[in-house]
Amino acid sequence: MPESVVLVHGGAWAIPEHLWDASVAGVKAAARRGHQVLAEGGSAVDAAEAAVVSLEDCPAFDAGKGSVLTYDGEVEMDAIIMQGAGLSVGAVGAIRNVPNPVRVARLVMDKTPHVMLVGEGANKFASAFGIEQVDPDTLITPYARKELEYYKTFKKTVYSLFNKTEPPSGHDTVGCVVVSASGATAAATSTGGITAKMPGRCGDTPVVGAGAYADDQAGAVSTTGHGESIMKVCLARHITSLMSTGQTPEAAIKGGLEYMESRVKGFGGAIAVSLDGGVAAVFSTPRMPWAYVQGDTLHFGMHPGQHCTEDL
Ligand code: ASP
């Protein structure tokens, strides 16, 4: 029986130097958290949710607290969670004022016949299920405000994000993929989106097959990067399909990212696990923090080619 894996990412793009340490610490803590949930008897989807909650709570990332701002200076977040057994999935789009959108996505999956709730409806649903609504200012970091001002000053918008040599976003989307020892898969992704996005814009993250995919017959994938590009090529489903033909997670992600670049000139990254315990974190942007626990070892990295390990 293969060993379980809990693998997380903290988003593709540049990651400015002042966030490097916090980003690596954040992904390591999240991988440990997910692993702990599995070790205590939680399911793959429980572990994915717990790991993403840990990342949403870390202000170094563009998700939950630390989310980037819309052009109007507000936080609107997207999240998805998917369970590979039965392809169950729940998502929220453009939700506001909740610290952990992935928890609401989980409730959509577990408590409704729907796949995605957006905007006001998502907030009403969250309240009905006792999710705390917080003062929006508590989700906004000074860095997110600064980033928006930078974009406004230089009149850059979401449309300029195609160019990877001019990396836009300082901190980024988060995600987690899990395969348990019994072969149960799960994936979750959460984001504040892209700085200066139009109010009401939903990115790839809550779109099933774009921002995440989990299938107990193939593996699990969480993506990050330019959302409009990721949606056009259904990146997470594309990578999962390649894995189901026998490709390793690494080959499948590379194939998916190459396809996205060749078809729509988009850049990003993804993490993937296969049913046999294969693991990969691959990106076509300058950096992407990632970490995973397999056996008694914590693996992590952020820069191209970096792969560090430490004992759990
Ligand atoms: N994919 C996210 C979005 O477009 C952002 C990111 O992953 O950096 O909303």
pLDDT of 162: 46
Task: Kindly give the number of the ligand 1 atom that is closest to the alpha carbon of 192.
Answer: 9
Domains along the chain with CATH numbers = 5-311 (3.60.20.30)
For residue 138, count other CB atoms closer than 10 A to its CB.
11
Question: Is-catalytic flag, 173?
Answer: yes
pLDDT of 167: 46
Q: What is the CA 207 to chain-centroid distance, rounded? A: 12
Q: How far does residue 256's CA lie from ligand 1's centre (Å)?
A: 16
Ligand 1 site: residues with CB under 6 angstroms?
11, 13, 169, 172-173, 191, 193-194, 203-205, 224-225, 227, 230
pLDDT in tens, the chain (312 residues): 678 999 999 999 878 888 999 999 999 999 999 999 999 999 999 999 999 999 999 999 999 999 999 999 999 999 999 999 999 999 999 999 999 999 999 999 999 999 999 999 999 999 999 999 999 999 999 989 998 988 887 655 444 444 444 444 556 899 999 999 999 999 999 999 999 999 999 999 999 999 999 999 999 999 999 999 999 999 999 999 999 999 999 999 999 999 999 999 999 999 999 999 899 999 999 999 999 999 999 999 999 999 999 998
Q: Which one is catalytic: 70, 141, 173, 240?
A: 173
Pocket test for ligand 1, best of 70, 95, 189, 204 (most atoms within 8 A of CB): 204
41/129 Cα distance (integer angstroms)? 25
Q: How far does residue 227's CA lie from ligand 1's centre (Å)?
A: 5
pLDDT of 68: 93
198/86 Cα distance (integer angstroms)? 34
Pocket test for ligand 1, best of 191, 235, 257, 283 (most atoms within 8 A of CB): 191
pLDDT of 97: 97
60/37 Cα distance (integer angstroms)? 23
pLDDT of 2: 75
279/266 Cα distance (integer angstroms)? 23
Environment class of residue 132 by beta-carbon count within 10 Å: exposed (0-12), middle (13-18) or buried (19+)? exposed
pLDDT of 159: 46
- 57: helix, coil or strand? coil
- 75: helix, coil or strand? coil
Provide the whole-model pTM.
0.95
pLDDT of 151: 81
pLDDT of 164: 45
Using only C-alpha atoms, the chain has a radius of gyration, in whole angstroms, of 17
